[in-house]
Structure 1
Amino acid sequence: MTAFDDLMAFQRDTQALGQIAGRLGWDQETMMPRESASQRGEEMAAIEGVLHARRSDPRVGDWLEQIEADDDVAAAQLREIRRSYERAGKVPADLSRRIAQVTSQAQGKWAAARSDEDVASFLPVLEEVVALKREEGQALAGDGDVYDAMVEDYEPGTTGAQIAAIFDAMRPRLVDLRAAVLEMPTPAGLSGTFDESKQMQLTRRLARTFGYDMAHGRVDKAVHPFSSGSGDDVRITTRTSETDPFNCFYSTIHEVGHGAYEQNIDKSFLLTPLGRGVSMGVHESQSRIYENQLGRSRAFTGWLFEQMQEAFGDVGVADADAFYGAVNRVHNGYIRTEADEVQYNLHIMLRFDLERALMAGDLAVGDLEAAWNDRFDSDFGYGVDRPSNGCLQDVHWSVGLFGYFPTYSLGNVYAGCLYQALRTAVPDLDAELAVGETSGATEWLRENLQQHGSLYEPRSIITRASGMEPGPEPLLDYLETKFGALYGL
């Protein structure tokens, strides 16, 4: 056994334990008994303690000093291991365990507060989460920016200032497009009620249609849809509403994008640092291109219209063109995950600015609800009606995912670049989507991006796949073209 073999054997066990921790998180969201949160918090803390000890084990440092990579794959493995080792060495073990315990418990308190529309009951634990994450960020950042250290966990190589610059470039065109669209008549939405068991039947068909492998995955229901796992066990969740089946269907397609990315990574990377998506921005590029550029296209919605008629009968719109308009309605709303493509990124910009202020200490947790409501009114032109439509709508802050939100919009930016290249590479794309055939698109994404896992750095893999440096222009051009045609601008 060489030092590299020893290191990779050690890493394989570490990765396996990380998968177990992820499975506990999946269970907590889907099947865990309601009163089990306190014990689950201790279980999560115990596993995090073991993981932290392994990630910071001095033997890892010794192995890294001994090894010189002899190919690109080995170099990438060492890059990812070194990044994890250096990070773990900066964060005290007891702090890591405490964060795991508190965020596990906070998740349940958030869900209860959201259900009860009771912000005050959630603020004490959120204040504890923010304090712990700020302490962690300070340990990671040293003399640097705390928020940058947090972003590094989700989008390596990107800073808060770089994200702010991208958002500043996007905002004027998004605001202008929204204003123009909202002056036009809004297409009618669906009407009637939609049996939730039939929604789940169709949503599982949609998952398979987009290439999700049910033999290595499953679709369950959760309050907040998510995906979990990698390799041979990749699970997704969705949610249903009797009056809004699109919530179910497009949440599923979105999560399938995440799940397919993990399922399609080269199997030789299984249970290694390369056997996972390279960043949350790249991950989101897959979920958003599946959901939006493919799933909300005129071609695919024509096929979906037929499937919905078969499942539900009359859905309240006359034909496939009207259905396409219903899928892509630009309309007022509070919920990020239900936002149309034109306004979605404005929701992310709000959260980005608020969480940066929280981490910098410029915004107190006790003032968060008022700050959210003021900003929402300023950005969208109407007030938040209840907390579940405002600062309690997302799970992310309760589980300590500060620095995660901006990767949603980075994913949209990356998806715009990928889609431009995909249209050239698959000239018959619309004809395929019109009959419910997605393999031309999904195979291109598998070949050019997904199979590589974390082999390449985030911006590098987008550049390699799309043939261009990532920037917001392709996304903005796509949105203006699509919604300009749809709304007759």
Structure 2
Amino acid sequence: MTAFDDLMAFQRDTQALAEVAGRLGWDQETVMPDGAAPQRAEEMAAMENILHARRIDPRIADWLEAIDTALLSPVAAAQIREIERARQRALKVPVTLSMAIARATSAAHRTWAAAKAADDFASFQPALEEIVSLRREEAAALANGGDLYDALLDDYEPGASGQDIQTMFDAMRPRLVKLRDAALGSDHQPEKVIGTYPAKKQMKLASKLARTFGYDLTHGRIDKALHPFSSGSGLDVRITTRTNPADPFNCFYSTIHEVGHACYEQNVDRAYLLTPIGRGASMGAHESQSRIYENQLGRSRAFTGWLFDRMEQRFGYAPASSADAFYGTVNRLEKGYVRTEADEVQYNLHVLLRFDLERRLIAGQLDVADLEEAWNTRFAADFGYEVDRASHGVLQDVHWAEGLFGYFPTYSLGNVYAGCLHDALRHDCPDLDVQLAQGNVTYATDWLRDKVQQHGALYAPEKLIELATGKPVSVEPLLAYLEAKFGEIYRL
């Protein structure tokens, strides 16, 4: 075997072990008994110890030295890029620190869940203080004197910087605020959803929606969790959703959103299975898939007409006065606290809040003890009303309990990518609405598979989107889409 073959065989086992660790995380958030949390924290720390040791194994350096990179194919070169990237990161972060982060974030998950249920940030504060301290230490090791937040952001969006994200957000905020205020102040307001929707029937329709959007349930499953998520890659990709009898859209669109993530992982070229590029290119690229599935496709006028009929059949009554009215209902802007339940216009404003606060936390400009007050003050300034309880504020998201600092801005970056992709998709398929009205999303999902998903992490994220669309990444397609869509709905 060549040095490259030896390296890839070694890497295959490393990737397989990483998938096992991911499955422990899935289990923790779905079916693990509450009393198992302390042991699970130790199990996660032990897995991180093994993975860290493999990522810095001295043989990797020997194999890399022996490989003639000039002879590598583009795919092989991308594999080497990702292996070296993971190795350099692991060399900078002591294994004891990696294990401490794994242990602390695993233990914190149940602490956060209990604190959220009790609306008690103080009970979660010590765990979060430990996580922030550990992640700052990790960031300092990775940054080598550079920006701490950028070092963490690079885990989720390679090549991006906090300043780049800030510039993008500065371009988006004024138009988003103007559109939100105009819609909420319009004389025409869409109907609210009517009726109640039993959880079991919601889950059955959610399963149909998942299959409609291409989710392969022979290689996946749908469960319920406190916070919807997608987990896994290749042949085992699992999603979760949640139900609320008064708000069926929470279930349906959370499901479609997570299916976007899952289909990305299921549709990566099988030749890349259990290799470094056998996954999404970045979290921004991942969010582009979940957001375009959920919003540009799932909340389109054409598709909501089909969904209206399915809901009437499934539940025995119409969720709105007509299919046309239902389109407005699905896309209705409302005052609210929760990011995952927010409409397309206000969603990014929720992300901006989190981005600014977590940058300050990592920079040491904001203490965890002051986080709840800072959140509430910022929310009131951005949205014009007060947070009513901690579960609607600082405790609503699981991300900080899991140590995912640098993750939040990729949601909005994903929206920007989705805007670019949707613009190109509409150009390539001018009769898309005819298909969506029949509940047929196959052309769109096949287009996304061919343009984005099959490539895995072969390309850097921005290059991937540029290759898919033929244009540089820009916020303009997203903002133009939002202004046109909601201008029509609200008769602006």
Where on the TM-score scale, by shorter chain, does this alignment land: which range? Answer: over 0.9
Q: What CA deviation, in whole Å up to 9, does each residue of 1:323-362 have, x standing for no partner?
A: 1011000110000000000000000000000000000000
Structure 2: distance between partners of 1:172 and 1:457: 29
In the aligned structure 1, how far is the partner of 2:235 from the partner of 2:189? 44
Among residues 348, 351, 355, which one is paired with 1:348 in the alignment? Answer: 351
- Report the equivalent of 2:82: 80
Which residue type is aligned with residue 396 of structure 2? Q
2:308–2:319 Cα contact (<8 Å) kept: no
| Conserved? CA contact 2:148–2:363, under 8 Å | yes
8 Å contact from structure 1 (residues 373, 383) kept in 2: yes
Is 1:253–1:291's contact at 8 Å kept on the other side of the alignment?
Answer: yes
Matched residues in 2 for 1:358 and 1:105: separation?
21
List alignment gaps of at least 5 residues for structure 1. none
Whole-Å separation in 2 of the counterparts to 1:38 and 1:190: 42
Aligned to 1:454, the other structure's residue is in SS state coil
Whole-angstrom CA distance in 2 between matches of 1:231 and 1:384:
40
Answer with 306-315 or 258-267: which moved more: 306-315
Segment of structure 1 superposing worse, 329-338 or 316-325: 316-325
Residue identity in the other structure for 2:17: L
CA contact (8 A) 2:312 2:319 kept: no
In the aligned structure 2, how far is the partner of 1:67 from the partner of 1:224? 44
SS, match of residue 192 in structure 2? coil
What are the Cα deviations for residues 380-423 of structure 1, in whole angstroms up to 9, with x where unaligned?
00000000000000000001000000000000000000000000
* Structure 1 SS opposite 2:238: strand
Moved over 2 A (4+): none
Give me the whole-angstrom Cα distance separating, in 2, the residues matched to 1:12 and 1:238.
30
Give the Cα–Cα distance (whole angstroms) in 2 for the partners of residues 293 and 413 of structure 1: 12
After superposition, residues 356-367 of structure 1 pair within 5 angstroms as 356-367=359-370
Specify the alignment match of 2:47 in structure 1.
47
**Aligned-partner residue type, residue 248 of structure 2:** P
Alignment partner, residue 450 of structure 1: 453
Is the 1:186–1:331 Cα contact (8 Å) retained in structure 2?
no
Contact 1:227/1:259 (<8 A) preserved: yes
2:7 matched to which residue of 1? 7
Residue correspondence of structure 1 range 183-194 to structure 2 within 5 A: 183-184=185-186, 185-194=188-197
Match of 1:148, SS?
A: helix
2:337 matched to which residue of 1?
Answer: 334
Residue 466 (1) aligns with residue 475 (2): no
**Counterpart for residue 100 of structure 2:** 98
* 1:441 correspondence with 2:423: no
Query: Which whole-Å deviations, capped at 9, do the CAs of 1:36-74 have from their partners, x for residues lacking one?
Result: 111000000000000010011111122112212321001
2:44 counterpart letter in structure 1? M
**1:198 shift after superposition:** 0.5
Q: Which has the larger displacement, 315-324 or 296-305?
A: 315-324
**Matched residue SS, 1:61:** helix
Give the match's secondary structure for 1:259. Answer: helix
Structure 1 residue 466: deviation in Å?
1.0
CA distance in 2, matches of 1:130, 1:266: 37
Q: Which residue of 1 aligns with 2:110?
A: 108
Deviation at 1:144, TM superposition (A): 0.5
Superposed counterparts of 1:70-469, under 5 Å = 70-184=72-186, 185-469=188-472
What's the CA shift for 1:186?
Answer: 2.3
Give the SS at the match of 1:399: coil
The CA distance in 1 between the partners of 2:189 and 2:371, in whole Å, is 33
The alpha-carbon deviation at position 92 of structure 1 amounts to 0.1
2:63 maps to 1:60: no
Amino acid corresponding to residue 460 of structure 2 in structure 1: E
Q: 2:15 touches 2:274 (CA, 8 Å); kept in 1?
A: yes
Supply the distance in 2 between the matched residues of 1:396 and 1:18 (Cα, whole angstroms): 19
| CA apart distance, 1:96 | 0.2
Q: Would the aligned equivalents of 1:189 and 1:317 in 2 still touch at CA under 8 Å?
A: yes
Structure 2 residue aligned with 1:32: 32
- 2:19 matched to which residue of 1? 19
3-state secondary structure, aligned to 2:152: helix
Work out the CA distance in 2 between the residues paired with 1:194 and 1:182.
27
Task: State the AA in 1 paired with 2:19.
Answer: Q
Q: Within 5 Å, which residues of 2 pair with 1:465-484?
A: 465-484=468-487
Matching residue's letter, 1:140: L
**Structure 2 unaligned residues grouped into runs of 5+:** none
Deviation readout 1:110-162 (Å, 9 max, x if unpaired) = 00000011110000010000000000000000111000000000000000000
- Answer yes or no: is the 8 Å Cα contact 1:305–1:320 preserved in 2: yes
Q: Aligned residues, how many?
A: 489
Residue identity matched to 2:296 = Q
CA contact (8 A) 2:311 2:319 kept: no
- Give the letter aligned to residue 339 of structure 2: R
Q: Secondary structure at the match of 2:239?
A: strand
Contact 2:277 2:457 in 1 (8 A): yes
Provide the rounded CA distance (Å) in 2 between the counterparts of 1:350 and 1:231.
34
AA partner of residue 380 (structure 1): F
**In 2: Cα distance, 1:214 partner to 1:189 partner:** 33
Aligned partners of 2:432, 2:52: CA distance in 1, in Å?
46
Residues in 2 aligned to 1:112 and 1:450: alpha-carbon distance in whole angstroms: 37
| 2:418 partner letter | A
| In structure 2, distance between residues paired with 1:145 and 1:352 | 15
Shift of 1:316: 4.1
The separation in 1 between residues aligned to 2:444 and 2:348, in whole angstroms, is 24
Query: Is the 8 Å Cα contact of residues 217 and 235 (structure 1) preserved in structure 2?
Result: yes
CA distance in 2, matches of 1:65, 1:384: 56
Q: Percent identity?
A: 66
Contact 1:182–1:331 under 8 Å retained in 2: yes
Contact 1:190 1:315 (8 Å CA) reproduced: no
1:456 Cα deviation (Å)? 0.4
Cα deviation per residue 1:7-61 (whole Å; 9 max; x = unaligned)? 0000000000000000000000000001111100000000000001001111112
Q: Find the residue that maps to 2:401 and give its secondary structure.
A: helix
Cα distance in 2 between the residues matched to 1:101 and 1:351? 24
| Distance in 2 between residues matched to 1:318 and 1:49, nearest whole Å | 57
SS at match of 1:396: coil
